[in-house]
Amino acid sequence: MRIQLATTKLVLSVLLLGGCAAYDNQSTQNTTFKSAFADDFLIGTAVSERQVMTNEKTRAFVAEQFSALTAENSMKWESLQPQEGEFNWRVADELVAFSEAHGIHVTGHTLLWHQQVPEWVFEGADGEPASRSLLLNRLRQHIHSVIGRYKGRIPSWDVVNEALNEDGSMRESQWYKLIGPDYLVHAFKFAHEADPEAKLYYNDYNLFKPEKRNGAVKLVRDIQQAGAPVHGIGLQAHYGVGYPEDLTQIEDSIIAFGELGEVLITELDVSVLPFPDEEQQGADISLNMALSDQLNPYVDGVPEQDLKKFNDHYVSLFKIFLDHKDKISRVTFWGVDDAQSWRNNWPMSGRTDYPLLVDRKQVLKPVTETIFSLAQ
């Protein structure tokens, strides 16, 4: 069912600060994310190393609020195997133990990506680029080591992250250049070998765009037809107020991907800040721009008109998610609270953003009351 974007009556309690609505007001509701959506889909968050290891307040908040967890960075290649054959399991082990103690579903993120990979992975013994066979062996060894350690404990994995360009063509990463386009097939086969019971996902951003959606459908079908299991597609939902402008594009992608397997909303946040170039919105972490007051306008809070747009955007998104809960198995926010969100430092360091439904004091924002009521 398609939604009509309309003004939503929201219950808002806001603290006025210089004509802006500050996100430090106290929510009066007792409902949690995981209780609100218990009959619909898993609801999750991504956690950082500091939050996992030392922040007891955040650990308690996460245990209370969420039914799913993803490691923000601590399961990526550079974190787990910075040197060949030398693994650092400390943070990942603690995350898995914490999740088990609280009955929280964990998704491993991510086994293969073109970012945050140590240089040695792509180098041969002579300093030249690694051969196809060497790189495939390293990929298999890494995947088997990581999944093997958590076999039976981590039930799902983001196997490949961001293999597509914006036009739906394959990104010519080092993986692509040194192995060839079949590197994805091998990655999913290696993951299935390591744990035949685990759910395996492809994950990418801007998959609401028709051309990138079509590329993802073709990519996943090709992998499946080659005999490697892909159980679902993760839509990284890095959005902004008014982005995407047409939310039915998200709905179209959910429907299209639902024909291939599970649909996951994997990295949800909604920025309230202006973006310097509409064409570059998404999640390309290689972007690095200079900070300016024009692009960091809400240091002290968000104007009422933009707060309302933020609220309406989130309400509209959750209407879509709930309309298609038969296809969606998980919705995960990329971060626990506004203070921790990566959106404060992308695409420029030092901005103040408010992209999550939990404020800087780890209080649920008032709009969550309206969002939770949608699931009743």
Q: Catalytic: which of 72, 162, 251, 369? A: 162
Distances (CA, A) of 274 to 110, 156, 205: 29, 35, 19
Q: What is the DSSP string of 88-126?
A: --HHHHHHHHHHHHTT-EEEEEEEE-SSS--GGGGB-TT
User: Bridge partners of 164?
Assistant: 170
- Rounded CA-CA distance 155/283 in Å is 26
Distances (CA, A) of 188 to 89, 181, 196, 234: 22, 13, 11, 15
Evaluate whether 336 touches 358 at the Cβ level (below 8 Å): yes
Evaluate whether 210 touches 252 at the Cβ level (below 8 Å): yes
Has 267 been annotated as catalytic? yes
Backbone angles phi, psi at 26, to 5 degrees: -90, 125
Has 279 been annotated as catalytic? no
Residue 103: exposed, middle, or buried by beta-carbon count in 10 A (0-12, 13-18, 19+)? exposed
Contacts of 293 (CB under 8 A, 6+ apart): none
Q: Catalytic: which of 49, 251, 267, 369? A: 267
Backbone angles phi, psi at 89, to 5 degrees: -95, 0
Which residues are designated catalytic? 162, 267
